[in-house]
Amino acid sequence: MLGGYAVTVLITIGIYVILALSLNMITGYAGQISLGHAAFMGIGAYTSALLFTKTGLGFWPAFVAAGLVGILTDEVAVKPLDGRGSLAIAIVTIAIGIIIEITGVFILLLWIPLRERVGLGTLLNAIQIGLVVFLIGDHLPHTDLLALRVLYMFGGLLSIAVGSGLYIGAGLGSGPRDGLMLGLSKRGISVRVARTAIELGVLAAGLALGGTVGIGTVAFTFGIGPLVQVFLPRMRLRGDSTVLATAH
């Protein structure tokens, strides 16, 4: 067992690693300077520490609660300053590819109660999808023709379903959302229902953040689950009984 001093050092290192990574996203990727960064770090740190030490709340619930307190502080104390042209805090925009990677990491936390295992496929999925979107998103052909746009939509939906069957069937681990889907399947929920429920949750979060809903949104939310259920058992490797058991 580690002594108290060693634990304190490791916690301090972890805090500064989180701070460095977040500053890298804001300054490195977005090219912006945050004047409120230290304040929000302090709010989150003190909130989680007080909940953990004073109420006996576990680490992960305290971690989530600290994030919610930070969001509430932003809504109550910072948002009113926007209308007055205040420079109290920098507004940050992050490329969609980076957002995919960030949300993938947070979704992995939901694996803990499901006891899913992280594999090579998990890491590659969490990293390379966001990276590919970031690199080629602006270079794909664009069109205003409705027929072609609908074709793109269904082609992308089918590609994701087939790709999911291929990489999950390899037995090297699944991505964040797919792992959540399989974890729920092991508890008696079909792949179709589990994936649709996950997508509905993601849709609700997007709407809460001010996102919009289109035909593609609806098609993906209700179409990807049934398609993955079709392709997943047909593209697994022979002997991969886990995938077969969760794809019913």
**pLDDT at position 61:** 83
89 within a domain of the structure (yes/no): no
User: Does 87 map to a domain?
Assistant: no
Same domain, 225 and 111: yes
In the predicted model, is pLDDT for residue 35 greater than 70?
Answer: no
* 91 lies in some domain: no
Q: Give the pLDDT band (50/70/90) at residue 227.
A: very high
- The residue from 21, 53, 82 where one domain ends is 82
Q: In which band, very low, low, confident or very high, does the pLDDT at 129 lie, cut at 50, 70 and 90?
A: confident
Same domain, yes or no, for 72 and 115? no
**Measured CA distances, 132 to 88, 100, 199 (Å):** 34, 11, 21
Q: Which residues of 79-111 are buried (b: 16+ CB within 10 A; e: fewer)?
A: eeeeeeeeeebeeeeebebbebbebbeebbebb
Structure confidence by residue, pLDDT tens digits, 89-106: 444 455 555 566 666 666
Do residues 108 and 68 share a domain? Answer: no
Cα first-last separation, the chain: 44
Domain contains 193:
yes
Question: Percentage of the chain surpassing pLDDT 90?
Answer: 6
| Domain contains 90 | no
For residue 60, pLDDT beyond 70: yes
pLDDT-derived band at 242, boundaries 50, 70, 90: low
Q: What is the pLDDT of residue 86?
A: 44
pLDDT of residue 48: 83
Residue scoring higher pLDDT (128 or 167): 167
- The total of structural domains in the chain comes to 2
pLDDT band with cut points at 50, 70 and 90 for residue 158: very high
- Per-residue pLDDT tens digits for 182-222: 888 877 888 889 889 988 988 887 787 777 888 888 999 99
Residues 221 and 164 in one domain: yes
Domain range enclosing 11? 4-82
- The model's pTM: 0.55
Whether 125 and 216 share a structural domain: yes
Query: Is residue 139 domain-shared with residue 239, that is, in the same domain?
Result: yes
78 and 101 in a single domain? The answer is no
Mean pLDDT computed over every residue of the chain: 75
Q: Both 57 and 105 in a single domain?
A: no
- Tokens representing 24? 């890298």
Which of 25, 58, 82 is the C-terminal boundary of a domain?
82
- 148 with 26, same domain? no
Asked if residue 81 has pLDDT above 60, the reply is no
Average pLDDT estimate for 43-49: 82
Q: Which residue type is seen at 111? A: W
Q: Are residues 137 and 28 in the same domain?
A: no
Inside any domain, residue 58? yes
H-helix or E-strand spanning residue 134:
helix 120-136
Mean local confidence (pLDDT), 225-247? 71
